[in-house]
Structure 1
Amino acid sequence: MATYVEILTTEFPEIDTELFDYITGVLDGGGADFEDGEEVFEAVGGVLQEVSADDKNEEEIRHICLQMFNTLKLNQQQQHRGAPRQVLLDAPVQLSQISADPGSAAPDHQGIWMVKRVQNTTVDPKKLEKAEAKLKAKHERRNERDSLKTPSPLVLEEASASQASSKKDNRVDQSGKNRSYDIRIENFDVSFGERCLLQGADLSLASGRRYGLIGRNGLGKTTLLKMLASRNLRVPAHISILHVEQEVAGDETAALQSVLQSDTAREDLLGEERLLNARIANGTVEGMESVRLSEIYVKLEEMEADKAPARMQQQATREFSGGWRMRLALARALFARPDLLLLDEPTNMLDVRAILWLENYLQTWQSTILVVSHDRNFLNAVVTDIIHLHSQRLDSYRGDYENFIKTKEDRLKNQQREYEAQVQYRQHIQVFIDRFRYNANRAAQVQSKLKLLERLPELKPMEKETEVTLRFPDNFEKLSPPILQLDEVEFHYSRDQPLFSGLNLSADLDSRICIVGENGAGKTTVLKLLMGELTPVGGVRQAHRNLKIGYFSQHHVDQLDLNVCSVELLLNKFPGRTEEEYRHQLGGYGITGELATRPVASLSGGQKSRVAFAQMTMPCPNFYVLDEPTNHLDMESIEALANALNKFRGGVILVSHDERLIRLVCKELWVCESGKVRRIDGGFDEYRDILHEQFRKEGYL
């Protein structure tokens, strides 16, 4: 076996002489005291990390320390070792005295209590000082580089909520007598930093109904859900809540355990069962507790708690893709069966098949749902009511999204008619007042008319929401085909897992192509092969020499610098233009005024998407590749995106699950499955029929 000196010189060939002497001195002097490789790592791991020329990671350094410990251990076994002398003290040791006067402690006492150990080090003190100075300087330089790479963390504004509360309602809630599962929150405000999102709003959720919460990007839909989930807005204590957020983070928790933990009732019962069983084992359980244990077993049996683990897997949640993380989050929610289920853009990242399954499942959901969604087909299939967030208030409508559109238009027309009628009535009264103001005979009538004007309710004109517009510049010359194609392309990430073979795809500047398929089928990989970001292992990619692709990633937030404002972001990406040009570019995507100077991190999901569109279109590409472009966009923005793509004179290939966008824009539908990409002549209707037939065969319908 190599000695630790050989290991050191092999793994760190560029180590300084002073540092080498320092490390070997520590290992020479303390070799007998190290109990395992971890202690070697604690002693010299930090130094080795600093001197690593190839920036070895922590695990690699730990492994090297373990190897050096093994050589030290082997050397000790080959040497004569005597057992250390153990001493029985004659009297208690006073720690305070020893710490106050270390020199006065007896030698045996020092062996027990003193931290400092005498080491037979071969290091020259001057060399040691010099080595430590070098380490410190190198560490400072590295920190300085890291600080330049990593900007200081941005402190974001926080959301807050306040509401008027009734003492009677509070007493009923605290007494546990409130058994209603209806939710009524009156006269509440919600703010985000200094911005007021809702003022004097009312929210009513009847038990068992399914509500769709809609509104423009940035008005506070996600914030409202968070205020409910955190109970910053008062929801009766006996009502359980589960919140599925837009972006689902992963961690080390196994998928199975993640789902099981979401069912708090089950977890509480299992915890109580373990406690009571422990007391039974100790013989301390009482009669009533035995009865309670029986009740727990009945409840657990009703919940099929023993069968639950078979429903999921053991894979860590961080290992799932975005689409599968959303499926896992939904599985947690559906498994736990909360009284109030809050869903924030649940169709984000899901494929069409998963969306259709979710629609069918939620239609039979027994408790209350409040869902934020931009998918009008999903809303039409699932919700029983619509709640419209606008003008810092909430308006409720019975029925699905299509019924909301019709009712809203009728309501606005009536509001406008009432307003215009009142304006005419006021003008008529004002004409009488102005005509007879100075007529003594009509003074009483004038006063009566003035009082009538004061009593009339103040009506407001119809509020028209500003129209959302997106524009994709197309000031480029027409390119002659072929523009972009794949010929007999094969691709795999590893040889034992082939992904595609025999891909033959082509597109030109007239193309409007949508790629659909299940999560994990390889849709994004196809896009990257078309763009040339991935190199085929077989076959050929051909592209026109003047082809200029604009790419929108489904993880577009990763492409944005969140610590700067939108104007700065464009300036850093495309320097040399005026601030007015950057603002004009952002304005074309609805990022205007104060929004353009706000940190990108503080923008809503939809607003970040618009910034990403502004960044993507700045160089004026002649071909767009869009991966899930509708995620986080409100319905008005999706309509605007469809209009912009239809007016654009270049080519478009997109991956999307949004049925409305597909129907409005796409002329071709490609299905990605089983290592192939095939065209469906019947378009989206045929694809839906195929999926429904699969559901019927699998027993979901």
Structure 2
Amino acid sequence: MSLIALKDLSLTRTATLFAGLDLNIAKGDRLGLVAANGRGKSSLLRILAGQEEPTTGSLIRARGLVAAFAPQDPPAHLLPMTLHEAVRDALDAETAEAEGWRVDILLDDLAVDEALRHRAVRDLSGGWQRSMLLARAAVVEPDLLLLDEPTNHLDIARIGVLQRFLAALPRDCAVVAASHDRAFLDDTSTRTLFLRPAESADFALPYTAALQALDQRDAARDRQFENDMRKVRALRQQAAKLKNIGINSGSDLLVVKTRQLSDRADRLEEQARPAHHEASAGAIRLANSGSHAKALVSFADTAIGTPDGRTLFRTGKLWIEAGDRVALLGPNGAGKTRLVERLRAALAGADPEIRGAASLRLGHSDQALSQLDGFPTPWEAVKRSASLPDQQARSLLAGAGIGIDAQIAPLARLSGGQRARLAMLLLRLVRPNFYLLDEPTNHLDIEGQDMLETELVEQGAACLLVSHDRAFVRAVATRIWVIEGRRLVEVEDPDPVFDRLMRG
């Protein structure tokens, strides 16, 4: 049974985000929604939730449909509330009074610590705010659950909790999730909608299989377009020859035949459509200045601890060589960020237990993109990071998806995707030979993730990265370090580690 049906739906802002969208969502559907940053995913979710109106088209909801939307960020009115109060706030007063216990059951299902339930939403991490927003949506027991980037800010263990929660939903509950997390989409979706300005593509397949089907369809569409355009050129060449013959011979029949051929060429050209090729949200390019040193970074048996001196784990004797791409995995709180901070400090000064080669040049990016904080505008960020002519600076920013107007606007006005691309641009300008990356795919769309993966692999630069993005780790890492039992150990295959982490 259809819960919601879209017919010829379109949405236009400064440009058309999508048009001609036909979509039916049935009970029990698990639909992954995929598009580049800023291409209408969040807007479509709000339209499905009844919070926004399309530009044109129709939307028919099943009678009595309950749709619940979990956005990316908490609304301002929830920030002073405790987590528990914010979830209870989603219920109407009568239900909250009679069935307030539903909140506690739901927070138990989402493995929310008791202490966190009484903290103000504004004081929670981005991951716990995500869990609160999911709980707010789920507590109303919806027929249709709408999720906007639900894995952002979640570590692997919390992604495991999320996936188990979604799997345990009532069979009739439909879920639509907009996400750039490819592994999450593969694990949770049975359908994939690629949202496009025209001819959006819906496949009854999870993400990776759907992407392959989309690529095959687009390739076939391009071949058909090329064949059609060859026919158009041939018809027009034939029409031109007949026209000359007809003029010279005075034959009315040839004039009519010429017009018929020209009309056929016009109709065929009008009907011919190439495959859609998504305009890039901005390129990601990295650099590698190279190094003759074999070991760029070496660790003695180093103790990694908390600020108050408590040891979390020891590294053993380890090193990172030129070309190594090391992924650091471990449960939340195990000390991944503490290792990154210790390494960064060691490379900036003296540390008897962690040494960097004399030729090492560091490029660092953290989860919060704090390297951008000292710059008022993107223009200032680039100009102060490298001595570049004005035109080259503008060209680099435009290539990273930051238009002329945005280049001199406050950094706060950039989208998350633009900030991430700007951060990668600044890294490139430093020309590092060793990258220290903490959750580098946060805020990047799938196109951006693919670009970053390609650059890291093709540039051959060494890196140490922390990431909850399983697809990214699988694609990039040549070595896997895992924090286990207060030791740092190296393993061959990340998948058993992912499985353990997701089971919590």
Task: Give TM-score, length-normalised by structure 2.
Answer: 0.81
Matches within 5 A, 1:272-421: 300=99, 313=114, 314-316=117-119, 317-365=121-169, 366-391=172-197, 394-421=200-227
CA distance in 2 between partners of 1:417 and 1:616 (Å): 39
User: Does structure 2 conserve the Cα–Cα contact (< 8 Å) formed by 1:207 and 1:368?
Assistant: yes
What code does the residue aligned with 1:337 have? E
The gaps in structure 1 that reach 5 residues or longer are 1-178, 274-299, 696-701
Cα drift, residue 491 of structure 1: 2.5
Distance verdict in 2 for CA 1:663–1:547, change over 3 Å: same
CA distance in 1 between partners of 2:201 and 2:296 (Å): 52
CA distance in 2 between partners of 1:411 and 1:402 (Å): 14
User: Does structure 1 conserve the Cα–Cα contact (< 8 Å) formed by 2:195 and 2:201?
Assistant: yes
Name the structure with the higher strand share: 2
User: Does structure 1 conserve the Cα–Cα contact (< 8 Å) formed by 2:5 and 2:22?
Assistant: no
Cα drift, residue 610 of structure 1: 0.6
CA distance in 2 between partners of 1:330 and 1:505 (Å): 42
Question: Is residue 189 of structure 1 aligned with residue 7 of structure 2?
Answer: no
Question: Is residue 423 of structure 1 aligned with residue 423 of structure 2?
Answer: no
Q: Larger deviation: 512-521 or 471-480?
A: 471-480
Residue in 2 aligned with 1:547? 360
Matches within 5 A, 1:78-477: 181-184=3-6, 186-191=8-13, 194-229=14-49, 231-233=51-53, 236=61, 238-247=64-73, 251-262=79-90, 264=91, 267-270=93-96, 300=99, 313=114, 314-316=117-119, 317-365=121-169, 366-391=172-197, 394-437=200-243, 438=246, 439-453=251-265, 455-456=267-268, 457-465=270-278, 470-477=284-291
CA distance in 2 between partners of 1:525 and 1:575 (Å): 30
User: Does structure 2 conserve the Cα–Cα contact (< 8 Å) formed by 1:670 and 1:679?
Assistant: yes
CA distance in 2 between partners of 1:369 and 1:540 (Å): 50
Cα drift, residue 354 of structure 1: 2.5
Instruction: Give % identity.
Output: 25
Matches within 5 A, 1:19-30: none
Cα deviation per residue 1:634-688 (whole Å; 9 max; x = unaligned)? 22221221221123344210001112221222122222356x2422423202313
Give SS of 1:197's match: strand
Name the structure with the higher helix share: 1
Question: Is residue 570 of structure 1 aligned with residue 392 of structure 2?
Answer: no
The gaps in structure 2 that reach 5 residues or longer are none
Residue in 2 aligned with 1:520? 333
What code does the residue aligned with 1:679 have? V
Cα drift, residue 553 of structure 1: 0.9
What code does the residue aligned with 2:393 have? Y
Q: Larger deviation: 442-451 or 644-653?
A: 442-451
Cα drift, residue 402 of structure 1: 2.3
Cα drift, residue 691 of structure 1: 4.3
CA distance in 2 between partners of 1:542 and 1:533 (Å): 7
Distance verdict in 2 for CA 1:679–1:329, change over 3 Å: farther
Residue in 2 aligned with 1:633? 444
Give SS of 1:211's match: strand
CA distance in 2 between partners of 1:306 and 1:629 (Å): 34
Distance verdict in 2 for CA 1:363–1:502, change over 3 Å: closer
CA distance in 2 between partners of 1:346 and 1:673 (Å): 27
User: Does structure 2 conserve the Cα–Cα contact (< 8 Å) formed by 1:485 and 1:530?
Assistant: no
Give SS of 1:618's match: helix
CA distance in 2 between partners of 1:651 and 1:454 (Å): 55
Distance verdict in 2 for CA 1:478–1:650, change over 3 Å: farther
RMSD: 3.6
Q: Of the two structures, which has the highest relative contact order with CA contacts closer than 8 Å and spacing of 6 or more?
A: 2
CA distance in 1 between partners of 2:66 and 2:370 (Å): 32
What code does the residue aligned with 2:129 have? R
User: Does structure 2 conserve the Cα–Cα contact (< 8 Å) formed by 1:323 and 1:348?
Assistant: yes
Cα drift, residue 609 of structure 1: 0.4
Cα drift, residue 228 of structure 1: 4.3
Distance verdict in 2 for CA 1:477–1:270, change over 3 Å: closer
> Among residues 457, 461, 469, which one is paired with 1:646 in the alignment?
457
Distance verdict in 2 for CA 1:432–1:360, change over 3 Å: same
Residue in 1 aligned with 2:419? 608
What code does the residue aligned with 1:626 have? L
What code does the residue aligned with 2:191 have? D
Give SS of 2:89's match: helix
Cα drift, residue 239 of structure 1: 3.2
Task: Give TM-score, length-normalised by structure 1.
Answer: 0.60
Question: Is residue 583 of structure 1 aligned with residue 397 of structure 2?
Answer: no
CA distance in 2 between partners of 1:393 and 1:599 (Å): 36
Give SS of 2:225's match: helix
Give SS of 1:652's match: strand
Cα deviation per residue 1:255-287 (whole Å; 9 max; x = unaligned)? 22222333x25x44245x6xxxxxxxxxxxxxx
Cα drift, residue 546 of structure 1: 4.5
Give SS of 1:678's match: strand
CA distance in 2 between partners of 1:209 and 1:309 (Å): 24
Distance verdict in 2 for CA 1:222–1:349, change over 3 Å: same
Bigger Rg, structure 1 or 2 = 1
Distance verdict in 2 for CA 1:646–1:426, change over 3 Å: closer
CA distance in 1 between partners of 2:149 and 2:185 (Å): 11
